[in-house]
Amino acid sequence: MRHEIVASGVKVEERAGLFDDSAQQDYRVMRGREEQPKEYRMTRWRMEHAVHGFGFAVGPFEPHREPWPEKEDPVTVEFFGLGDDTVYVKSDFVAAEMINSLNYFQRLFGKYPYERLGTVYHPRRFGQGLASLLLLPKADRESKYTFSFIAHEAAHQWWGNIVCCRSYRDQWLSEGFSEYSGVLYTGLRDSKKSERELIRYLRDSLKVHPRGSTQRMYEIAPLVLGNRSITRKTPGAYFYLAYHKGALVLRMLHFLFTDPASGEGQPFFDMLSDFVDQHRGGWATTESFIQVANERFPESALGERYGFPDLNWFFRQWVYETYLPTYRLEYRLVGQKDGSVVVEGHVLQEDAPEYWLMPLPLVFGFGGDAIAHTTVIAHGPKAPFRLQLPRRPKKVELDPDHWVLSAETSTGKLR
Ligand SMILES: [Zn+2]
């Protein structure tokens, strides 16, 4: 059976033949064995870019190649399956998801630098995203889990390879960012409903008790503890924290960099592609990411509105601490003589220290498609607010899309 060798980078040489090892041959004759000389296959690969790791796979693979059309330098996307697509993996499905992912992430995070992207089937139950080489298990059934899983691995080209992490304390930049990239991709590729369901799953997973532990997942360790959160009692903590909480913390930054009035989130992606550019082919740390976010935040709509000079308060709370607050907005509507309406009340914050601070989205529905977005600040156990609206809203809801991580978020009327 012919075996293929697939590796990171570009193949520059391939040779095959029989081992010419006369010493071995003499040994075999001496021992009276009549073995056939062994076949060999040798390939040489070149990686033009600085990467922290290099991977390869050997197996009876059958390549499926598709060009990823880019104007200046075409990139080939390859899937190395095991042949029969009806039994093994649908090659054209995986190749199409790779191309869609590359298109989307390149637009969001900046240029894909490698000459090709190879994906290899491997018979394990996890994926691996090495520079220009992905290892994927059987993942070819259309579902939100498959879309987000494949896109997670593809996003590792940016998070983990183009930008590498310096230590375990920075690993959430790779896994959390890839996880959130997969969620965003699923929202576009599949549906907004699938995106919402994935977010709910990530949020709920942080509230479970690992078996044998009295703590809940979010309490076990802050994000920066990385894989040191794994203990005999909490074997899954690293996965839930770096992947799930990491994704949800990045999503909160997505909210903080978005203009609540227009819904324009481009400043978030500009910040991320700036982060990629500043670390291309090098190491990033949690602190170097904070620096990029800090430089850009004061110019964002919410940065200007609240006059925050930086995001240090945000990162201290969500990356270096372990709290998971509960938010509740209580409000009343007061009609004014000119026909306008004042919305007043407070935001309650539980299970967080006094200093805990967080802006949250507040959404008003006026019937039909008429919706207005603004934000309120939670600060300490009870923070008052007062807003004026041109007319009476039919619906008032605190963070209905769960942009802000919490144990629970709810809205109620004051009597
Ligand atoms: Zn990953």
Q: What is the rounded average pLDDT for all residues in the chain?
A: 93
* Encoded tokens for 308: 């925050």
Between CA 81 and CA 364 the distance in angstroms is 50
Instruction: Tell me the pLDDT band of 138, cut-offs 50, 70 and 90.
Output: confident
**Residues in a beta bridge with 41:** 16
Query: Does residue 88 carry a pLDDT above 80?
Result: no
For the chain, the first-to-last Cα distance in angstroms comes to 77
Selection from 315, 387, 395, 296 nearest residue 357 by Cα: 315
pLDDT per residue as tens digits for the range 358-395:
999 999 999 999 999 999 999 999 999 999 999 999 99
- Calculate how far, in angstroms, residue 246's C-alpha sits from the geometric centre of ligand 1: 11
- Calculate how far, in angstroms, residue 160's C-alpha sits from the geometric centre of ligand 1: 9
Query: Does residue 33 carry a pLDDT above 90?
Result: no
Rounded to the nearest 5°, which phi and psi values hold at 104? -70, -50
H-helix segments, 297-349: 301-306, 312-318
- Calculate how far, in angstroms, residue 265's C-alpha sits from the geometric centre of ligand 1: 24
315-319: long-range pairs with CB below 8 Å, 24+: 315/286, 315/290, 317/352, 317/356, 317/357, 317/358, 318/223, 318/249, 318/252, 318/405, 319/172, 319/222, 319/223, 319/224, 319/249, 319/286
**Residues in a beta bridge with 350:** 326
Of 174 and 139, the structure prediction assigns the larger pLDDT to 174
Selection from 385, 384, 364, 386 nearest residue 374 by Cα: 364
- Calculate how far, in angstroms, residue 129's C-alpha sits from the geometric centre of ligand 1: 7
Query: Does residue 71 carry a pLDDT above 80?
Result: no
Selection from 1, 113, 112, 128 nearest residue 57 by Cα: 128
Task: Return the amino acid letter for 400.
Answer: P
Instruction: Say yes or no: 337 and 373 in one domain.
Output: yes
Confidence at residue 357, expressed as pLDDT on a 0 to 100 scale:
97
Between CA 49 and CA 163 the distance in angstroms is 12
Domain ends where: 318, 348, 380?
318
Instruction: Dump the DSSP string for 61-81.
Output: -EEEEEEE--SSS-EEEEEEE
- Calculate how far, in angstroms, residue 313's C-alpha sits from the geometric centre of ligand 1: 27
Is the pTM higher than 0.75? The answer reads yes
Cα dihedral sign for 135, 137, 140, 144? negative
- Calculate how far, in angstroms, residue 192's C-alpha sits from the geometric centre of ligand 1: 22
- Calculate how far, in angstroms, residue 12's C-alpha sits from the geometric centre of ligand 1: 29
SS3 call for 125: coil
130 part of a folded domain: yes
161 part of a folded domain: no
- Calculate how far, in angstroms, residue 389's C-alpha sits from the geometric centre of ligand 1: 45
- Calculate how far, in angstroms, residue 172's C-alpha sits from the geometric centre of ligand 1: 10
- Any idea what the CATH number is for the domain that residue 402 is in? 2.60.40
- Calculate how far, in angstroms, residue 414's C-alpha sits from the geometric centre of ligand 1: 45
State how many domains the chain has.
Answer: 3
Instruction: Say yes or no: 43 and 120 in one domain.
Output: yes
**Contact yes or no for 341/335 (Cβ under 8 A):** yes
- Any idea what the CATH number is for the domain that residue 118 is in? 3.30.2010.30
Structural domain containing residue 104: 4-141
- Calculate how far, in angstroms, residue 155's C-alpha sits from the geometric centre of ligand 1: 8
Domain ends where: 273, 288, 318?
318
